[in-house]
Amino acid sequence: MRLLFIHSDFIEYNVREKATDIAENIESESERVEDVLVVFVSVERNDKMNTAENAAEEIDNVAKQIKANKIFIYPYAHLSSDLANSEQAINILNKLRKRVRELGYEMHTSPFGWYKSFKISCKGHPLSELSKTITENEETEALRNENKLKTSWYILIDGILNDVEKFDYTGYDNLKTFVEYEIKGTRAVQETPPHVKYMKTLEIAGYEEGSDAGNLRYYPKGKLIKNLIENYITSRVLNYGAQEVETPIMYDYNHPALKSYLERFPARQYTVLSGEDRFFLRFSACFGQFLIAKDATISYRQLPLKLYELTRYSFRREKHGELVGLRRLRAFTMPDMHTFVTDMENAKDEFLKQYMLSIDVLKDFGLSTEDYEVAIRFTREFYENNKEFINDLQKMIKKPVLIQIWEEKFFYFILKFEFNFVDNTKKAAALSTVQIDVDNSKRFNITYINARNERVNPLILHCSPSGAVERIIYAILEKAEKDKQKGMKPMFPIWLSPTMVRIIPVDKNHLEFSEKIMDKIKNSSIRVDIDDREISLSKKIREAEMDWIPYITVIGDKEISSNKLTVRERSGNANYEITVEDLIKNIRERISGFPYRDLNENPYLSKRIIFS
RNA sequence: GCCACCGUAGCUCAGUCGGUAGAGCGGCUGACUUGUAAUCAGCAGGUCGGGGGUUCAAUUCCCUCCGGUGGCUCCA
C-alpha cells in the first residue's frame, strides 16, 4: 500500500464519472474539509486486511506529529503500478477508514472508483508532505501456513514417547535448552554470541557493508578454514558414492515446477531483475539437481543415484533482525546431496546411512553427539508404520531426542532429522539434516524405468551431512568458548588450524636456523610460520596463544646446540623437548586422513597485514 | 520486517548537562637485544555512521536513513 500525506489548509473534491465497473456508491458528490491531513491511498496487489491496520497506525503516527485531528482518506490509484483489483481495494480501504475512525479521528473520505476533480492547499512545512509504503511480507504459502500446522512434541528414549512438558530433564540440560528454544522460544541470555567476537579477532570473516547484510567477506585465515571444511565434506560425500555436479545460481521465476516448489519452501528469496526478466537466487541446490535428474535416463538398476553440489552460495533473504555472525546469513555455503531411490524401504535404508554419515562428519569437526541435540520430525502416518525405525535412530545416539509429529503431511517431506547445536547464548542452530521427499519427483517430472519397463517417480532424500559450512565454523567457535569456560584453552581441530606450528626465534641471529626448521616442517605438509618481528619473546608467545596456535616452538642457543625443539603445546600443560622429526611425526598422525592446504599467508609475521 | 539498545582514531572504549574531542592497544620512528601471555620513549591517525532539522553554534537535542547487537518470528 502506498500513502501520500499532505497536511493541508483545505481539500475539496467533485465527483465526475465512473472510472471502474466496481465503484463505490456515492454518499456525497462533493465535500470541502479544512485544516486536515489528507492521505492519498493506493491499495496494491499484495496488500492484506492487516496492511490496513499497519497503514492506520502509520497515519496515527503522522497525525500525532503534526497534531492533526482530521484525516481525509483519498483513494488514489496513481501512486503505484502494481494495483490490487477493485474489490480487494474497496475492502481494504474500508478497513482503513474504519480503523482511522476507531483511533478517534474525524474521518473524511471520497468514493473509490470515480474520476474526481480536486483542489488542495499544502501547508508547506517540512512534515507537510510525506510518502510511505506499507508492505506485507511476501510470504510463501508454506510460511503462511506453518503456524496452522498441527504438531505434537515428545521426548523419545528407549522406544517411549514422553510428554515434552513432563519429561525429567535431569542430566540433559542441553536438551532442555534446545526444547525450550524450539517450542517456547524462550531464552535468557542477552549478549553477543562469542563466535561473533572470535570471527573478528581470529581474522576469519567480517561484515561487508558494501554488500547486503548477511553477506560476509572472509580473510585469508577464514578462507583457509572454509576451504578445508569444504574439501573435507566433499570428499566424504563423494566417498559415500555421490557424483558432484554444478548448477546455476539463478532461476526463472516463471518456470512452472520452480514456481510451485517456491510456494512450498519456507524461505524468502533474493530477486534479480535483469532487463524484462525476473529471476530468483537459489536457496539450495535442489532445483539444479532436480532439473538434471529430470533430463537423465535412469534405470531402477542404477538406483540409488546420488547427486551432490556444494553451493557457493545458497541465498535466503532472511529477515534482517535474524542475521547474526556466522549463525544466520543471507548467503551461505551448503553441501547439498540428493539421493533418488525406488521405494520407502530403500529411502529408509539411505536415510539411516546418511544419519550415520552425518554423525561421523560432525565428529571430525570436533562435534560429538554430546555437543548437539537431535530432532526427528515426521508425519503421524509415517510413525505408525515405522516405530521401530524411529526408535533405532534414537538408540544410536544414546540419549533422548526431541520428536515432532505432524498430524498431516504439509511439507514435501514426511521424515527429517536435524542435529542442532545449542550455543552460549542458549540459541539453537541446525547443522546436519536429511529429509525424505515424496513430492518433488512428480513436480519436476523425474522418472526412472522400473523392472516392468514403466516410468515411475522415485523418492528423493535431501541431505546436508554437515549443514552450512559457516554454521560449522560457528559451532566450532561456540564450542571453543564453552571449553574456555570449563578452563580449557579454546582451539580448532589441528587440521583446521590456519597455523599449526609457530616458530619463535629468541633473537635475530637464531633466524637462519629457525628457517631451516621451518622448511623441514613445511616440506612435511604442516602449516608453519615464523615470528620474525623485533618484539619481545613474551609478546610473541602471548600473541601466538591468542591466535590459538596449537604448537609453539621457541628457538634459541639451547635448541641450536641440543638439536631439539622446546615445544609449548596448546592442549598440554608443561613444555617439552622433542626432535623436529618426532614433532613432525606427531602432528602428521593427528592430521592424517584430513585434507591439507598450504598456509594462506606470508610465513613471516613481519610481512603480514592486519585485516581486522 | 516489528520492538529495544548501540554506532566517537585501524581496534576496544572514555568524554562533551550544545562551544568541533581523549586513553589504551595497533601503526610509524628511535632506544633496548631480550628464554615462554604485553620493554621504554616520541610521533602520526578523527567531516564523533550518512542526510536533514532546531540553534549564534550540533559529535551532543529532534527527525530520517544505513549498519551492528538483543528480543519477537523463522531457518542450514
Res. A8 pLDDT band, cuts 50 70 90: confident
Mean pLDDT over A132-156 rounds to: 65
Amino acid A191 CA to nucleotide B15 C1' distance, rounded Å: 25
How far is A77 from A89, CA to CA, in rounded Å?
10
Mean pLDDT over A82-110 rounds to: 84
In terms of domains, do A552 and A512 share one? yes
In terms of domains, do A151 and A132 share one? no
How far is A71 from A142, CA to CA, in rounded Å?
38
| Residues contacting residue A96 through CB under 8 Å, at least 6 positions apart | A41, A52, A55, A56, A73
In terms of domains, do A209 and A316 share one? yes
Q: Note the residue count of chain A.
A: 612
Examine residue A485 and state whether it is found in any structural domain, yes or no. Answer: no
Query: At residue A280, does pLDDT exceed 80?
Result: yes
Is there contact between A213 and strand B, defined as CB under 7 Å from any strand atom? yes
* pLDDT at site A612: 77
Examine residue A59 and state whether it is found in any structural domain, yes or no. Answer: yes
- In the 168-187 stretch of chain A, whose C-beta falls under 7 Å of nucleic acid strand B? 185-187
CATH number of the domain at A498, please. Answer: 3.40.50.800
In terms of domains, do A314 and A451 share one? yes
* pLDDT at site A211: 82
Based on its alpha-carbon atoms, the radius of gyration of chain A, rounded to whole angstroms, reads 31
In terms of domains, do A127 and A151 share one? no
Of the three residues A421, A443, A477, the one that is the final residue of a domain is: A477
Amino acid A208 CA to nucleotide B50 C1' distance, rounded Å: 17
- In the 406-425 stretch of chain A, whose C-beta falls under 7 Å of nucleic acid strand B? 418, 425
Mean pLDDT over A84-96 rounds to: 83
In terms of domains, do A134 and A152 share one? no
CA neighbor of A363 nearest in space, from A236, A187, A451, A261 = A236
In terms of domains, do A473 and A512 share one? no
Is there contact between A477 and strand B, defined as CB under 7 Å from any strand atom? no
Examine residue A487 and state whether it is found in any structural domain, yes or no. Answer: no
CA neighbor of A463 nearest in space, from A332, A303, A353, A379 = A353
Examine residue A162 and state whether it is found in any structural domain, yes or no. Answer: no
| Residues contacting residue A503 through CB under 8 Å, at least 6 positions apart | A514, A517, A518, A521, A528, A529, A530, A531, A553, A555
- In the 257-296 stretch of chain A, whose C-beta falls under 7 Å of nucleic acid strand B? 266-267
pLDDT tens column, A371-404:
999 999 999 999 999 999 999 999 999 999 999 9
| pLDDT higher at A18 or A541 | A541
Mean pLDDT over A38-55 rounds to: 79
* pLDDT at site A227: 96
pLDDT tens column, A546-604:
999 999 999 999 999 998 999 999 988 889 999 999 999 999 999 999 999 999 999 99
| pLDDT higher at A314 or A409 | A314
Amino acid A241 CA to nucleotide B53 C1' distance, rounded Å: 66
Which residue range is the domain that position A350 belongs to? 145-156+203-456+466-477
Number of domains composing chain A: 3
Mean pLDDT over A302-318 rounds to: 93
* Contact assessment for residue A286 and residue A349, using Cβ atoms and an 8 Å cutoff: no
Amino acid A360 CA to nucleotide B40 C1' distance, rounded Å: 53
Query: At residue A1, does pLDDT exceed 90?
Result: no
Examine residue A223 and state whether it is found in any structural domain, yes or no. Answer: yes
Give the range with max mean pLDDT: A15-19, A63-67, A255-259, A480-484: A480-484
DSSP SS3 for A520: helix
* pLDDT at site A565: 95
* Contact assessment for residue A113 and residue A20, using Cβ atoms and an 8 Å cutoff: yes
DSSP SS3 for A550: coil
Query: At residue A139, does pLDDT exceed 50?
Result: no
- In the 318-337 stretch of chain A, whose C-beta falls under 7 Å of nucleic acid strand B? 318-325, 328-330, 332, 334
Which nucleotide is closest to A464, CA to C1'? Answer: B76
Rounded percentage of chain A residues whose pLDDT exceeds 70:
94
pLDDT tens column, A410-454:
788 999 999 999 988 888 899 999 999 999 999 899 999 999 999
Examine residue A86 and state whether it is found in any structural domain, yes or no. Answer: yes
Give the range with max mean pLDDT: A75-84, A266-275, A442-451: A442-451
Chain B footprint positions (protein CB, under 7 Å):
1-4, 10-12, 26-27, 32-39, 52-53, 66-76
| pLDDT higher at A578 or A319 | A578
* pLDDT at site A137: 43
Which nucleotide is closest to A556, CA to C1'? Answer: B35
Query: At residue A266, does pLDDT exceed 60?
Result: no
Mean of pLDDT over chain A: 88
In terms of domains, do A42 and A77 share one? yes
CATH number of the domain at A270, please. Answer: 3.30.930.10
Amino acid A35 CA to nucleotide B48 C1' distance, rounded Å: 42
Res. A254 pLDDT band, cuts 50 70 90: confident
Amino acid A430 CA to nucleotide B75 C1' distance, rounded Å: 8
Amino acid, single-letter form, for residue A3? L
Mean pLDDT over A180-206 rounds to: 80
Examine residue A90 and state whether it is found in any structural domain, yes or no. Answer: yes
| Residues contacting residue A597 through CB under 8 Å, at least 6 positions apart | A224, A227, A228, A231, A527
* Adjacent-strand bridge partners of A32: A12
